[in-house]
Amino acid sequence: MGITTNVLIMVPDLSLVDETFDTNITLSYFLSIQVCLDGFSFSILDPVRNKYIQFRYFSFHHKVKETDLPELTNKIFEQNELLNLPYKKVFILIPSRFSTLVPSGLFTPDEAAGWLRFTHEVPENHNIVFSQMKLADAWNIFAIPSQLGDIFKRQFPEPSFFQQYIPMTETKLAISRPGVSKTQLIINLQSNYFDIVVIEKNNLKLSNSFQIRGENDLIYYTLFVFEQLQLPPSNTEIQLIGAHPEFNVIRKTLEKYIKHVKQPGLPSGFQYSYLFKDVPGHRFHNLLSLASCVS
């Protein structure tokens, strides 16, 4: 049974508006949106100053299903005038387990659906979309709920869709330096699954998603990746991002097995309004990294 939203007032859990934000010049701003089972969030970047000046997060406090997201998204659009203004660019992040990467040399748009269906059972009522990962020299093919995608296409003239592998990977490759020997393993937590991306010597070595069915699944799969890729624990850094009810517990458990576990703050490469001190950077790391993934 779906969520009844006809009388639902969507109140943001966190809302930040810098005094320099100007509704008259939104056509010069970049808008980034993330929607998932955890909630709906958006941020606004002034690319002229490379500065984030707006942020808003709506937590879905009640348990929701994927089929509820279109209805909740529509309600947020109805109640937030900011999302009905025109923007220079609009980036949409829809986290998905149904994703695969194909090297640029092998990718053709006509074969994108075939590649994804070869690796996943794509759910019905999902559209298959793809985005280029320039620094990784690959294409990210992924599935998003059709109805949700249609809402964003109706709301914005030319939205760009992303899956989480892109901000997880491209932002790290952009700041990696040749000759740096430390291997980076990025873990992105979701409510019922997690993603692992491994970057070694400025190259993408692995990107994969794993379902969380039991309390030891994350540790098991993480250590399995260490073993399979023969990663040296003393020289491998784990960066833990994303949202999960047991985020802190998971971090402490990881620290029992891995020496270098970090919880990054706000993504580097941007300026932030002083108000962003209240934004948990690890939780919204992918959302706030989107603007650096697009040239």
pLDDT tens per residue across span 135-187: 999 999 999 999 999 999 999 999 999 999 999 998 888 876 655 567 889 99
Q: How far is CA 62 from CA 11, 80, 229, in A?
A: 13, 20, 39
The confidence band for 202, taking pLDDT boundaries of 50, 70 and 90, is confident
Supply the pLDDT for residue 181. Answer: 63
- Which residues are registered as beta bridge partners of 46? 51
71 phi/psi in degrees, rounded to 5: -65, -45
Classify each residue of 229-263 as buried b or exposed e, where b means 16 or more C-beta atoms within 10 Å of its C-beta. eebeeeebebbbbbbbeebeebbebbeeebebbeb
What's the pLDDT band for 32 if we cut at 50, 70, 90?
very high
Give pLDDT, residue 295. 58
Say which residue, 144 or 7, is predicted with more confidence: 144
Q: What average pLDDT does this structure show over 276-283?
A: 94
**What's the whole-number mean pLDDT along residues 254-283?**
92
Structure confidence at residue 3 (pLDDT): 54
Give residue 179's pLDDT: 55
pLDDT in tens, 207-257: 999 988 887 899 999 999 999 999 988 888 899 999 888 888 889 999 988
- Which pLDDT value is given to residue 178? 58
Q: How confident is the model at residue 60 (pLDDT cuts 50, 70, 90)?
A: confident
Tell me the pLDDT band of 275, cut-offs 50, 70 and 90: very high
Q: What is the pLDDT of residue 63?
A: 79
Query: For 88-121, how does the pLDDT look when each residue is reduced to its tens digit (9 = 90+)?
Result: 999 999 999 999 999 999 999 999 999 999 999 9
Give every CB contact of residue 283 below 8 A, 6+ residues apart in sequence.
241, 242, 243, 247
Q: For the chain, which domains are there?
A: 14-94+267-293 (3.30.420), 99-163 (3.30.420.250), 177-262 (3.30.420.260)
**pTM for this structure?**
0.92
Asked whether the predicted pLDDT for residue 2 surpasses 80, the reply is no
Query: Which contiguous run of DSSP H or E holds residue 235?
Result: none
pLDDT score, position 1? 41
